[in-house]
């Protein structure tokens, strides 16, 4: 997968719609302190399904919505769109992932215009060996975190890079369904025993 474009509106300091083209290769973001470099990386991770407000440097998820300044009123929603290209198949396929949050209404996700769950978005990116926690997104402090990582954390990074973390999610899902089915079967046995 190659991310080609990032569009933001009402996200943190990006109150007006902003459109960023991401060219092939390594992309670095430079600018003076406080200009919004980290906000851009956070927008990318947020649209990929990040669900920890703390890692977005906020107390609650609605803190990603433009909070207003002395001269501009706050916004009621934030939206981030990722335009990507799915490579590796027979034909390259365009992919549009949108996350939107409204005050009091929470987050909603769309993939190519279709409403989906947060989990679908996380799986889509995990299968493409990327995602909200991908080591390919190098934020401030990330390099020292990689150096100081415990073996388990390092393994997680390698698994993400290898594109197999989606398999763990599916395994957890399957195990949960299995447990629910076992509980249903046990309940059914009880009902049958009561009837006899
Ligand atoms: P540095 O180089 O110092 O790390 P940076 O370029 O990474 O800075 P960011 O941390 O991305 O900058 O942006 C910080 C700015 O974003 C601050 O001015 C802060 O007020 C603004 N900001 C963060 N959240 C919101 C919000 N919800 N509404 C409006 N502005 C916000």
pLDDT in tens, 9-20: 999 999 999 999
Q: Distance (Å, rounded) from C-alpha 49 to C-alpha 181?
A: 28
Residues with C-beta less than 6 Å from any ligand 1 atom:
12-13, 31, 33-39, 63, 65-67, 140
What is the ipTM for the molecules in this complex?
Answer: 0.94
CA 13 to ligand 1 center in whole angstroms: 6
Give the ligand 1 atom nearest the CA of 31.
Answer: 6
Ligand 1 atom 1 nearest Cα: 33
Q: Please give the model's pTM, rounded to 2 decimal places.
A: 0.76
Identify the burial level of 55 via C-beta atoms within 10 angstroms of its C-beta, where 0-12 means exposed, 13-18 middle and 19 or more buried: middle
Query: Phi and psi (nearest 5°) for 175?
Result: -65, -40
pLDDT in tens, 43-89: 999 999 888 888 888 889 999 999 999 999 999 999 999 999 887 76
Could you give the C-alpha distances from 46 to 52, 135, 177, 193, in angstroms and in order? Answer: 9, 15, 28, 50
Q: Does domain 2-163 have CATH number 3.30.530.20?
A: no
CA 17 to ligand 1 center in whole angstroms: 16
pLDDT in tens, 108-143: 999 999 999 998 998 888 877 677 677 677 777 777
Q: In the sheet where 114-116 sits, what is the strand order?
A: 18-21, 2-9, 77-86, 93-102, 106-111, 114-116
Query: Phi and psi (nearest 5°) for 97?
Result: -115, 130
Binding site members for ATP: 32-39
pLDDT in tens, 137-190: 777 777 787 888 899 888 887 887 777 777 877 888 899 999 999 999 999 999
């Amino acid at each position: 997968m190659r991310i080609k474009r990032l569009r933001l509106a009402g996200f943190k300091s990006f109150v007006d719609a902003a459109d960023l083209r991401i060219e092939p290769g390594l992309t670095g973001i430079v600018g003076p302190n406080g200009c919004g470099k980290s906000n851009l990386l956070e927008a990318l991770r947020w649209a990929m399904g990040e669900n920890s407000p703390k890692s977005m440097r906020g107390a609650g998820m609605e803190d990603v919505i433009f909070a207003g300044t002395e001269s501009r009123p706050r916004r009621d929603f934030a939206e981030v769109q990722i335009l990507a290209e799915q490579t590796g198949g027979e034909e390259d396929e365009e992919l549009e992932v949108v996350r939107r949050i409204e005050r009091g209404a929470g987050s909603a996700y769309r993939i190519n215009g279709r409403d989906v769950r947060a989990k679908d978005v996380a799986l889509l990116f995990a299968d493409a060996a990327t995602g909200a926690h991908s080591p390919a997104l190098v934020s401030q402090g990330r390099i020292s975190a990689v150096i100081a990582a415990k073996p388990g954390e390092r393994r997680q990074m390698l698994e993400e890079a290898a594109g197999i973390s989606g398999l763990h999610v599916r395994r957890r899902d399957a195990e949960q369904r299995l447990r629910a089915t076992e509980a249903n079967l046990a309940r059914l046995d009880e009902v049958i025993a009561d009837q006899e």
